[in-house]
Amino acid sequence: MSLPPFQQQNASSSDEIEVRALYRQILDGWNQRSADAFAVPFAEDGEVIGFDGSQMTGRGEIASTLRHIFAGHATAPYVSKVKSVRLLSDEVAILRAIVGMVPPGQSDLNPAVNAHQTLIAVKHDGTWQIEFFQNTPAQF
């Protein structure tokens, strides 16, 4: 007996690799302070909810908002651990991760900015794109 798609526990290895690569792209974009690199993996109308609850809709707004953030102050790089990738259907996946940040000039994580990150990816014409990304404050 097979499980309904929403109960599947593991994505196929190629899909999981592709979804993990999307996540890595946005973290690399953030860590390199490149708004465009962060925004590229998103669907044209993809959405982001930031750590502070701010909302960005569309690849253009995501890039524009991050350009402003990166220009305004030094941002800390992410350190992450992917907790799970689940294939909800052949064309929808969810990735859950935990992250911390090391402030500029320091060597330890700042627990005040630990977060859970959730990414929903959809396969459009055979290519995975991020439709939704949320960065939620966490206490760990």
Indicate yes or no: pTM above 0.75: yes
Domain ranges of the chain: 5-137
DSSP characters over 40-63: TTEEEEEEEE-TTS-EEESHHHHH
Nearest Cα neighbor of 46 from 130, 135, 136 is: 130
Q: What is the CATH number of domain 5-137?
A: 3.10.450.50
pLDDT in tens for each of the 140 residues of the chain?
333 443 344 546 899 999 999 999 999 999 999 999 999 999 999 999 999 999 999 999 999 999 999 999 889 999 999 999 999 999 999 999 999 999 988 989 999 999 999 999 999 999 999 999 999 999 88
